[in-house]
Amino acid sequence: MIGEDLRHAVLAREDVRRLFEPPDGDPSARARVDGYLEELRATQRHSIYRALKHPLYPILRKVERIPEGLPHLRKALDTGRVVYVSNHKSHLDYLIELLILEDHELRPPIIAAGINLFGGALGLLHKHVTGAIPIRRGARDAAYLVTLKAFVAELLETHDLFFYPEGGRSYSGELKTAKTGLFNAVVLAEVPVLHIVPVAIAYDLVLEDKILAPQVTKSRQRPFTRELAEMVGTAVGYQSRAFVSFGAPVTLAGGGEARSRRDVMDLAQQVLGAVGRLHKVLPTALIARAMRPSITRRELVSRIAELVGELKAVGANLDLTDASAIVAAGLPLLEERGVLALDGDVIRVRDRFVLRYYARQLQHLLGPARPAARA
């Protein structure tokens, strides 16, 4: 139960009391703090969450879950409290990543999710089964920000935490910069040993690619129910692998020590940099990066061979290194997805938006694509 004891611990913190107690506090802030704590209140019933994989089987069976770096994670779980920090590509992420922990009988964390996911039946599920806590991204109320940081700091006394520092999913395909709000909360936790574990998730094909790619940026928050309906439509014929890679932890010892804003930003950049290096480089992304509006298979193999050399030089986490094998593995996937078309020995672009979406997945390793590689 994430409830009454945690609420009392948050209200007892000096940084929270300062919001509403004399001489400097605003008494009206107490009601807002109580409201936010009620919003954050949740219950994790892991036995029920474990059973959810059965009704979700029609979707989950289409995604092969492949973990990497589990020894890093096991060591961290054995020696301290763990905060998982992951990139965010799909609404499948928080199913796939947490089910990998379940597959390997690892301690379940509490997940931090956008408040837009807490409406209707899904909201009840998060509130009373998964124990997820809703995050108001972009909130400006100082009472909310202080309450959230205090809540997370106290939560880490008894639970692990899983969050996405990019905020929402990447609409462009590239790795986004980290938001530091929850990092600020994490460093306030007075936990003797706290491990921040970088996590990278990568798919051969992202379920929402055709939904996300034309938009590039999220101009406004859409209701999750609408997004869910769109995802159902794109799931027809969908099959993919999902690589979830756990990296060496960044360990904070002592807990609760004061850190400057610059220190927190450096920590966020360090962890997200590790996430970028862990991110699996898959054939679909390599083909998308190497494509031209039209290209022969031989030219494509040659261009991918050059990319593989560049990626090896920066220590990328490559799935395959043979250029011919990369084309053989990735081309049928992009063709079936309607992104590329084969015309004899020539490969042509059918959906330049989705192609660019996959090409940008390598941007954090190689920089922006050269003009000749654009579709």
pLDDT digits (tens, 9 = 90+) for 104-115: 999 989 888 887
Report the mean per-residue pLDDT for the chain.
Answer: 86
Higher pLDDT, 372 or 213: 213
Mean pLDDT of 191-219: 87
Higher pLDDT, 317 or 252: 317
Q: Can you give the pLDDT at residue 127?
A: 58
pLDDT band at 371 (very low <50, low <70, confident <90, very high): low
Nearest Cα to Cα of residue 273 among 284, 265, 282, 261:
265
Q: What is the pTM of this model?
A: 0.89
Mean pLDDT of 36-61: 67
pLDDT of 373 above 50: no
Higher pLDDT, 160 or 46: 160
Q: Can you give the pLDDT at residue 5?
A: 84
Angle (CA) 330-333-338 rounded to 5° is 125
Higher pLDDT, 192 or 330: 330
**Residues in CB range of 314: below 8 A, 6 or more apart:** 365, 366
Q: Report percent pLDDT > 90 for the chain.
A: 57
pLDDT band at 186 (very low <50, low <70, confident <90, very high): very high
Q: How far apart are CA 298 and CA 322, in angstroms?
A: 13
pLDDT of 223 above 70: no
Please give the radius of gyration of the chain, using alpha carbons only, rounded to the nearest integer: 22
For 26-38, what is each residue's pLDDT tens digit?
998 999 999 999 8
Name the least confident of 128-137, 156-165, 241-250.
128-137
Q: How far apart are CA 37 and CA 175, in angstroms?
A: 32
Torsion (CA) 58, 59, 64, 70 in degrees, nearest 10: -110
Most confident of 4-13, 142-151, 262-271, 285-294: 285-294
pLDDT of 356 above 80: yes
pLDDT of 189 above 70: yes
Domain ranges of the chain: 44-278, 281-373
pLDDT of 180 above 50: yes
pLDDT of 361 above 90: yes
Q: Report percent pLDDT > 70 for the chain.
A: 82
For 58-82, what is each residue's pLDDT tens digit?
677 889 999 999 999 999 999 999 9
Q: How far apart are CA 354 and CA 341, in angstroms?
A: 13
Looking at the domain 281-373, which fold is it?
Arc Repressor Mutant, subunit A (1.10.10)
For 80-96, what is each residue's pLDDT tens digit?
999 999 999 998 898 89
Sheet holding 340-343, edge to edge: 294-296, 346-349, 340-343
Q: Can you give the pLDDT at residue 122?
A: 55
Q: Can you give the pLDDT at residue 136?
A: 87
Angle between helices 181-188 and 261-278 (to 10 degrees): 110
Q: How far apart are CA 155 and CA 6, in angstroms?
A: 7
pLDDT band at 1 (very low <50, low <70, confident <90, very high): very low
Q: Can you give the pLDDT at residue 211?
A: 86
Residue 306 has φ and ψ, to the nearest 5°, of -65, -40
